[in-house]
Amino acid sequence: MEGVRVIELGTLLAGPFSGRLLADFGAEVIKVEPPGKPDPMRNWGQEKDGVGLWWPIQSRNKKSVTLNLRVKEGQRVLKDLVKEADILIENFRPGTMEKWNLSYDELSKINPGLIMARTSGFGQTGPYKHRAGFGSVAEAMGGLRYVTGFPDRPPARIGISIGDTLAALFSTIGCLTALHERKRSGKGQIVDTAIYESVFGVMESLIPDYLLAGYIRKRMGNILPGVAPSNIYLTKDETYIVIGANADGVFRRLCEAMGKPELADDPKFATHSARGQHQKELDDRIEQWTQTLDAEKVLSVLEEKGVPSGLIYSAKDIVEDPHYQARDMIIHTEHPRLGEFPMPGIVPKLSRTPGKVQFVGADQIGEHNDEIYRDLLHYNREKLETLKNQKVI
């Protein structure tokens, strides 16, 4: 992505995560924050020595500038930045950019090749477009929370901000697609990503299940109805492990590992459909076996037989796992206040042009003001001082 310049106006999660992904692979991402009003993400998550531990990851490889978009002079500065940009990312409520005279129509007059990634709760059109839309609400309306949790308890949430992250992934795909198309047309376009649609987009056969089969998916705990065996199982040393053996060949290997090869030919378990109909009985049989062995032994036997299985990892397990280490999935970068800073590595792995984390997120708001405004936009010292005095930057 070297040579691609991105202006990131969003805050918190959905917009900035797109910026992070593009920056991981070499795009120059310029993070814009209002002067005196830093992105709240700077203080999210756990803290160490007054440093929020989420921010250095979310904003890695990004340059930080300050700019007040609510005033005309700030809007003029942004337009100068847009002249030099390929992509602009924003995740404000629809209508905000238009209120600031920064609509796509206005910006594309300045830069016809501009790609504008707009991520919001409900999208730029439709009756809900003006609603405030955090990821939590979008996860609920996208169908995810209805199927998450156990049937005898209220709907649960996944322990991360999955809605925002999914939206960012779809926005990034949109940006890359638009960049590719621009090579032919020379024109930019809007990438309109709704968080609820990003959640809904990964909900598998939820809708035809309902409209064609009359089936509404519900909360089922650790199983997928009709997909068996695929569950967590308790071992002798009171450790839960995951086993996924729902394909016919894999199930046969699981039966051999259990010392019960005959189960693979039992009419109740011989086919995918039969195993789904007898899911509870099958899970009980498997757990009867896993409870006779410690987790390490169960996993060893399953690995030998080629049955997908594993522990349920905590952060401690991840840090200590040799496979994570071998694939550089925990990397260390220097932080100006904390020293060596650990963070997730880059996904996916490109064989010839891999991404790279060059630096953690800017520790100080506006850290790159001089570099961007003076060196990129060629503002002189007098203009920079005027902008500072007017609190535009």
pLDDT digits (tens, 9 = 90+) for 18-41: 999 999 999 999 999 999 999 999
Residue 327 is classified by DSSP as T
What is the number of other CB atoms lying within 10 angstroms of the CB of residue 37?
11
The percent of residues in the chain predicted with pLDDT above 90, rounded, is: 97
Average pLDDT over residues 195-203: 97
Domain ranges of the chain: 5-201+327-389, 230-313
Concatenate the DSSP letters of all residues of 127-153 into one string: TTTTS---HHHHHHHTTTGGGSS-TTS
Question: Does position 225 have pLDDT exceeding 90, yes or no?
Answer: no
Q: What is the pLDDT of residues 132-147, one digit of tens each?
A: 888 999 999 999 999 9
Calpha distance 229→247 (Å, rounded): 9
Place of tokens 């109740």: 268
Q: Is the confidence at residue 83, as pLDDT, over 90?
A: yes
**Is 164 an annotated catalytic residue?**
yes
3-state secondary structure of 386: helix
User: Which two structure tokens, joined as six digits, stand for 98?
Assistant: 């238009």
What digits encode the pLDDT tens for the residues 318-371? 999 999 999 999 999 999 999 999 999 999 999 999 999 999 999 999 999 999
Q: What is the mean pLDDT of residues 175-196?
A: 98
Residue 255 has pLDDT above 90, yes or no: yes
359: its two tokens: 């630096």
In single-letter form, the type of residue at position 124 comes to: Q
Amino acid at 221: G
Catalytic residue among 164, 321, 370, 375: 164
Please say if the pLDDT value at position 45 is more than 90. Answer: no
Decide which of 3.40.980.10, 1.10.10.10, 3.30.1540.10, 3.30.365.10 is the CATH code for 230-313.
3.30.1540.10
Please give the average per-residue pLDDT across 237-266, as a whole number. 96
Looking at domain 5-201+327-389, its CATH superfamily turns out to be Crotonobetainyl-coa:carnitine coa-transferase; domain 1 (3.40.50.10540)
Q: With b meaning 16 or more CB within 10 Å and e meaning fewer, what string describes 68-82?
A: bbeeeebbebbbebb
SS3 content of the chain, % helix, strand, coil (to 5): 40, 15, 45
* Confidence grade of residue 256 (pLDDT, cut at 50, 70, 90): very high
pTM for this one? 0.93
Predicted pLDDT at 99: 96
Instruction: Write down the number of H helices and E strands in the chain.
Output: 17, 13
- Say which amino acid occupies 233: Y
What end-to-end distance do the CA atoms of the chain give, in Å?
28
pLDDT of residue 132: 87
Helix 248-257 vs helix 295-305: crossing angle, to nearest 10: 130
Between CA 222 and CA 280 the distance in angstroms is 12
User: Could you give phi then psi for residue 334, rounded to 5 degrees?
Assistant: -75, 130
One-character DSSP codes across 211-252: HHH-------TT-BTTB-SEEEEE-TTS-EEEEE--SHHHHH
Q: What mean pLDDT value characterizes the chain?
A: 96
pLDDT tens-digit map of 263-299: 999 999 999 999 999 999 999 999 999 999 999 999 9
Task: Give, for 250, the enclosing helix (H) or strand (E).
Answer: helix 248-257
